[in-house]
Structure 1
Amino acid sequence: MARDVESTKKRLRDAARQEFAEHGLHGTTVERIAARAKANKERLYSYFGDKNALFTSILIEELEKVAEAVPVRVERTEDFGELAGRTFDYLRTHPEVQRLLMWEALADTGEVADELNRRVHYRSKVEALEAAQRDGLLDDTISANHLQFLLLALANWWFAAPQIARMLTEGSIDEDEWAGRRRAVVEAANRIVCGKSPSGSTRSDREDR
């Protein structure tokens, strides 16, 4: 019996993840989730409460997976670029993460799922970058919280607006194109933390003048 319950829960969560990623919170119905999971919709209410609670639960779960797969570690300056690259890699293989976040933003109810814990999570990332700035590994012209947001933007936007990426890059999206996109993300991230001005001088060069 316990195995059947866990199996049904998994089917419902998997179906809901797909439905929410495709249609968002408001565009998804309990009936469609249940049909996709081949389960009774009453099971959804029994196991997860309601559609909103299930969306929140799935979003939190997906963000926890990202945090585990792409921890913020900066021991060398170039690690920042590679961090952006690994974020890009994860989103490429898990496009539902970006879609869920976009749907959350579009819903914009004024409430963010699990906001307190997510703030703590993001704060830990910022603190890791602050430590790297203090150690001189990263330029500190840009504050660490803005730096973290820029890193996410560099990696995420390819998946948030794939139609724009397709129009800009033209051609087929083959492995060479994916590799080029990743190189661009890594290079742009590394250039951001090198502290170069438009003239090409570094921040430390300017301070010595």
Structure 2
Amino acid sequence: MAWDTERTKRLLLDAATEEFSRYGLAGARVDRIAASAGVNKERIYQYFGKKDELFATVLGTRLRDLVEEVPMLGTGPDAVGDYAGRLFEHHLRDETIPRLVFWEGLELGADAVADARREYHAEKVARFQAMLPGLGREAAGELLLAIVTLVNAWPVIAQLDRQLVTGATDGADGAAVAADPAARIAVRRAYLERAATALAGAALAEAAGAALAAHAADSNG
């Protein structure tokens, strides 16, 4: 019977995704990945290379999938707020990407910047610019970074929620929110959506002001 290479790769990627999400790059073990996938560990090296290369493949794959799973829809600041809310809900259902990104930053830092993901990030910023016509490449990247930072933080610093909000809130309203996880999530999503909408509106206003100033300078010149 012919060996099903693609199935084997999928099994290994799924097992590696779980392993890296839980233990990070340094803590992950190739033996556990292979055992979980039910595949000889030599297949890992054959298909993906060294452990850090497998980690890069896992993260790159999940990020590319995210573009389609949480599309950037509509235009204007409200569309940006909606995108932030949907991204937040996605990461609540599946914490993999926030965990992998934080592990990457903690363990690799600036060395994590890879040419393999350059095209992905360029495409994502371009799609974001399409949501906010008139916004420059740098401003769009800055705004997107702010939103991603806000949204990705929840799964990895959830302990601060109780320390700063639900556990420190006095009164019946605070107790009710703390006792109802769904209500707490709704409140957090609303805050994120308002923040993203306001940031997008401010960025567009700043871009419009800069364009008017440049036009006036050209006219006077």
Give the drift of 1:28. Answer: 1.0
Give the drift of 1:15. Answer: 1.4
Counterpart of 2:181 (choices 171, 174, 184) is 174
Task: Indicate conservation of the 8 Å contact 2:84/2:147, yes or no.
Answer: yes
- For the aligned residue pairs, the C-alpha RMSD in angstroms reads 2.9
CA distance in 2 between partners of 1:109 and 1:154 (Å)? 19
User: Hey, what does 2:67 align to over in structure 1?
Assistant: 67
TM-score of the superposed pair, with normalisation by structure 1: 0.79
CA distance in 1 between partners of 2:130 and 2:4 (Å)? 48
Structure 2 unaligned regions, length at least 5: 168-177, 213-221
Larger CA deviation: 70-79 vs 180-189:
70-79
User: Hey, what does 2:151 align to over in structure 1?
Assistant: 155
Going by fraction, where is helix more abundant, 1 or 2? 2
Give the drift of 1:99. Answer: 0.8
Counterpart of 2:201 (choices 194, 197, 203) is 194
C-alpha offsets along residues 89-129 of structure 1, whole Å, 9 cap, x if unaligned?
A: 1111120111111111112165336x234333323333344
TM-score of the superposed pair, with normalisation by structure 2: 0.75
Give the drift of 1:146. Answer: 1.2
User: Hey, what does 1:184 align to over in structure 2?
Assistant: 191
* Amino acid paired to 1:180: V
* Matches for 1:114-133 after TM superposition, within 5 Å: 115-133=114-132
CA distance in 1 between partners of 2:83 and 2:32 (Å)? 37
Cα separation, partners in 2 of 1:64 and 1:2, compared to 1, 3 Å: farther
CA distance in 2 between partners of 1:5 and 1:127 (Å)? 34
Cα separation, partners in 2 of 1:172 and 1:23, compared to 1, 3 Å: farther
Task: Indicate conservation of the 8 Å contact 2:79/2:131, yes or no.
Answer: no
Cα separation, partners in 2 of 1:194 and 1:110, compared to 1, 3 Å: closer
User: Hey, what does 2:10 align to over in structure 1?
Assistant: 10
Please list every run of at least 4 consecutive aligned residues from structure 1 whose deviation after the TM superposition is greater than 6 angstroms: 202-205
